[in-house]
Amino acid sequence: MGFFIFAHTASGIMLVLLSLAAKEVRLARRIVNGVFGVAFLGYACYLAFFHDGGQAVMSLWVLILPIVLLVDFVRSIDLYSVSEDSLPAHERRRRQRRDRQPDVRQSSAPQPQPRRSAASRERRAARAAERAALRDQTTT
């Protein structure tokens, strides 16, 4: 019986908090979440204080409905419409840095290649010759 009471109480609290905190969700959905949450909390209070110990009804909806409504809430949030003021400071700084940096992929001009000195060209050629020699040794 304790698990039933806990499941109803947890589901009810989560649904009520979801209906109070979810400002991005339409009013009708928030009302439905609140009504189900109050119903779950009411049934939990009934089981805890007024039930005489007979059979109690435990539906799978007590476990499934809060998860379904939570997923529906998360899917309905449009993160791109969130105002800059409501974001945490670190997220505002990250967006400002991203906006200031030019996008390298969008530039059509070819990027200049770094100039190499004669010594670095010789070292690169020597390493390439060593790799070719090793490749020839392993293939034969």
Among the listed residues 8, 25, 2, 34, the one whose alpha carbon sits nearest the alpha carbon of residue 81: 25
Highest-pLDDT range among 47-51, 57-61, 78-82, 110-114: 47-51
Sign of CA pseudo-dihedral 78, 82, 87, 91: positive
Can you give the pLDDT at residue 85?
64
pTM metric for this prediction: 0.52
**What local confidence, expressed as pLDDT, does residue 38 receive?**
93
Whether the per-residue pLDDT at 119 is higher than 60: the answer is: yes
- The type of residue at 134 is L
Confidence of residue 80 (pLDDT cuts 50, 70, 90): low
Residues 6+ apart with CB under 8 A from 76: 24, 25, 26, 29
22-41 pLDDT tens trace: 777 788 888 988 998 999 89
pLDDT at position 93: 78
What percentage of residues in the chain have a pLDDT greater than 70?
80
